[in-house]
Amino acid sequence: MNPLLKNKPKKVLIQQPDLETVQHLHQHILNVSPDAEIYAPANAQEIEQYYLTVTNIDLLIAEVYIEGIDALADYLKFRASHPNIPVLIATRYDLSSYSEYIQGVPVVVLPYEEKHLESIIPQLLQGMKPSELTTSISRRIPIGTQSIKLVQKNKKENEESKPIDKPDNVIQKKINPLPQKPSSNSVIEVQRQLQQQMRKTILFSFCSLLTVTSIFCFLVYLGKIPAIYRYARFLELPWTDYQEMIAIPAGEFLYGGEEGATPTSETTGEFWIDQYEVTLGQYQKFLKAMETEKPETYAHPDMPNVSRGFKPKEWDKLIHTIRENTHYNGVHLNLNCPVFNVDWWDAYAYAKWAGKRLPTEQEWEKAARGPKGNSFSWGKDEKMTSKANLGLDYSPGDPSKGGFKDHFQMMNPVTEKPEDISEYGVVGMNGNVSEWTGTWGEGKLESIKVPVIRGGSFVSQKNIYIHQRIVKRDANTPEEWLGFRCVRDTPPISP
């Protein structure tokens, strides 16, 4: 067999995945042929590109690892297509399946744990035959009809052999690799791995969500969720800050008619009234504001014991039951229910803080009855009383037995009875909770003035007509069935 190269190579292609090995090969080639131009393509396709762009290639050196064994045919086909270019393949595997492509191609078999290509290259370049190449093992690899016998030498000789020293006058030359382009097989493998990782992520997320949901449902079943809410005080209870106000035009309206009396004509100026009663959520907002403000700023001048503040009776108990989703006096409530258990001083202070005031008795009645003096907010039909949350189905001893007529055992969220609406569009004036007004009238004792209360409530069984008035509670008396709403003399400012 003739030597692989008759002359020192001038242009060499090195296909080697390990950059450090490429540097070693580069140096060994320069030691033998200092003027050689060395190129390091990344794959068989780039080898073809180099062949098309770089002329007069003298040698192709390719080392094939197991992950590249499928691409070996590309190198061998390249060799078959370009028989004038010498090719050296360094591998560890049986190449007999590629025998049709590698007739006459030197094949060097290397042990997995040692790298010998660096020491073989100088021997090849110095004119040695492939059959004379030395490695640390001896075997025959069938390649078509021929075999290459690898001669085994004493391991001690190999260990004592010295590496070739780098001459001082050798000029280090730059390797000129093409830009790395992943092969189609590599791209497909990367895509496959990404898809597999995405499937794992989706599966993990789904399992995590399923686990959390299962735990939550189990805690609900055990009744432990309210306790969780109690300790999660950073969570705000949901509620709606209803800011809508209804314009009531100036002019005459029919007022009164209680207990068979003849209604009289009264006149009011234009004013704006809250569409809904003040809610628990809105009043809670007011109480939080009072934590940083002085109560005296909003208290009525005649209010006794201003220092007590404006917290309603049983307020902490009420908020606690709402937060824990438990019963307050036998029913579930939320922050969109009307505020109750407030005395007149509390209602006055809230209205002043909100930039409003309590309505006069006449303003309240006009907004509720309309200009023609209706008996109910919706008109004069007494058979339609289920439109309002009244006390016709109230069961004070056992709330679970109430609500069969209007569907509420106590007060309802302010938007839950839209049928209880006046001609002007004001909601909840016929029922739900009765309301404080800003008018003071004569109480049981003519010498004592008390605030006038208007409207029916969820406890009203006789007081169901909207023209009826209550003058039986003094300003210091809060009630579970008593709340309020506000008015203003100028149009509300848009938020």
The band of 4, judged by pLDDT with boundaries at 50, 70 and 90, is: low
pLDDT band at 310 (very low <50, low <70, confident <90, very high): very high
* Angle, helix 72-81 to helix 44-53, in steps of 10 degrees: 30
On whether both 319 and 383 belong to a single domain, the answer is yes
The CA–CA distances, whole Å, from 274 to 32, 367, 377 equal 99, 10, 15
Q: Examine the domain organization and report whether 161 and 192 are in the same domain.
A: no
| Model pLDDT for residues 436-472, shown as the tens digit of each residue | 999 998 876 666 889 999 999 999 887 688 888 888 8
Per-residue tokens: 158: 């190999």
Residues 219-277 have pLDDT tens digits of 766 665 555 544 444 456 789 999 999 999 999 999 988 767 888 999 999 999 999 99
Average pLDDT over residues 34-63: 69
Is residue 239 assigned to a domain? no
User: Does position 303 have pLDDT exceeding 90, yes or no?
Assistant: yes
String of DSSP letters for 240-271 = -----EEEE-SEEEEE--GGGPPPEEEEE--E
Q: What is the pLDDT of residues 123-143, one digit of tens each?
A: 555 544 444 443 322 222 233
Instruction: Let me know whether 30 and 118 are in one domain.
Output: yes
Q: How far apart are alpha carbons 101 and 138 in whole angstroms?
A: 24
Say if 402 falls within a structural domain. yes
Instruction: Find the mean pLDDT for residues 396-415.
Output: 82
Q: Assign residue 104 a region (left: φ > 0; alpha: ψ between -120 and 50; beta: otherwise).
A: left
Q: Are both 198 and 103 inside the same structural domain?
A: no
H helix or E strand, kind and range, residue 487: strand 487-488
Residues 94 and 197 reside in one and the same domain? no
Q: What is the pLDDT of residue 31?
A: 75
> Mean pLDDT over all residues of the chain?
75
Q: Is residue 225 part of a domain?
A: no
Q: 208 is in which domain, residue-wise?
A: 187-212
Contact 283, 350 (CB under 8 A): yes
How many structural domains comprise the chain?
A: 3
pLDDT of residue 395: 80
**Contacts (Cβ under 8 Å, ≥6 apart) of 218:** none
DSSP element (H, E) containing 417: none
Contacts of 442 (CB under 8 A, 6+ apart): 448, 449, 450, 471
Instruction: Provide the pLDDT confidence category of residue 150 given band limits of 50, 70 and 90.
Output: very low
pLDDT at 184 over 50: no
pLDDT attached to residue 163:
44
Residue 428 has pLDDT above 90, yes or no: yes
Assign residue 376 a region (left: φ > 0; alpha: ψ between -120 and 50; beta: otherwise). beta
CATH of the domain at 296: 3.90.1580.10
pLDDT at residue 258 in the model: 76
- Same domain, residue pair 259 and 366: yes
Across residues 382-391, what is the average pLDDT? Answer: 85
In a domain, residue 224? The reply is no
The answer on 24 and 166 residing in a single domain is yes
| Cβ–Cβ < 8 Å for 482, 436 | yes
Residue 156 shares a structural domain with residue 273: no
Does the pLDDT of residue 148 top 90, yes or no? Answer: no
| Residue 187 clears pLDDT 90, i.e. is over it | no
Per-residue burial over 185-196, b = 16 or more CB atoms within 10 Å of its CB, e = otherwise: eeeeeeeeeeee
Give per-residue pLDDT as tens, 166-178. Answer: 333 333 333 344 3
Helices (H) and strands (E) in the chain, counts: 11, 18
Percent of the chain at pLDDT > 70 equals: 61
Q: Which of 16-20, 119-123, 162-166 has the lowest mean pLDDT?
A: 162-166
Average pLDDT, integer, range 345-356: 97
- Looking up tokens 């020491």, which residue turns up? 119
Regarding whether 112 and 49 lie in a shared domain, the answer is yes
171 and 273 both lie in a single domain:
no
Please give the single-letter amino acid code of residue 153.
K
Is residue 231 a part of any domain in this protein? no
Question: Which is nearest to 62 in space by CA: 110, 99, 30, 27?
Answer: 110
Express each pLDDT in 67-114 by its tens digit. 444 455 556 556 666 666 666 666 655 555 555 555 556 655 554 334
Residues 143, 96: Cα–Cα separation, whole Å: 5
Query: Which of the pair, 173 or 375, is modelled with greater confidence?
Result: 375
- What CATH number should be reported for the domain holding residue 70? 3.40.50.2300
Where is 169: in which H helix or E strand? none
Does residue 1 form part of some domain?
no
Question: What is the rounded CA–CA span in Å between residue 259 and residue 254?
Answer: 15
Handedness of CA 462, 455, 364, 453 (dihedral sign): positive
Inside any domain, residue 2: no
* Residue 219: other Cβ atoms inside 10 A: 14
Q: What is the DSSP letter of 323?
A: H
**% of the chain surpassing 90 pLDDT:** 35
Overall average pLDDT of the 171-199 stretch? 54
Considering the domain architecture, whether residues 257 and 123 belong to the same structural domain is answered as no
d(CA 265, CA 251): 10
Q: Compute how many other C-beta atoms are within 10 angstroms of the C-beta atom of residue 198.
A: 10
Residues 6+ apart with CB under 8 A from 290: 298, 309, 310, 353
5 falls within a domain: no
332 & 432 share domain: yes
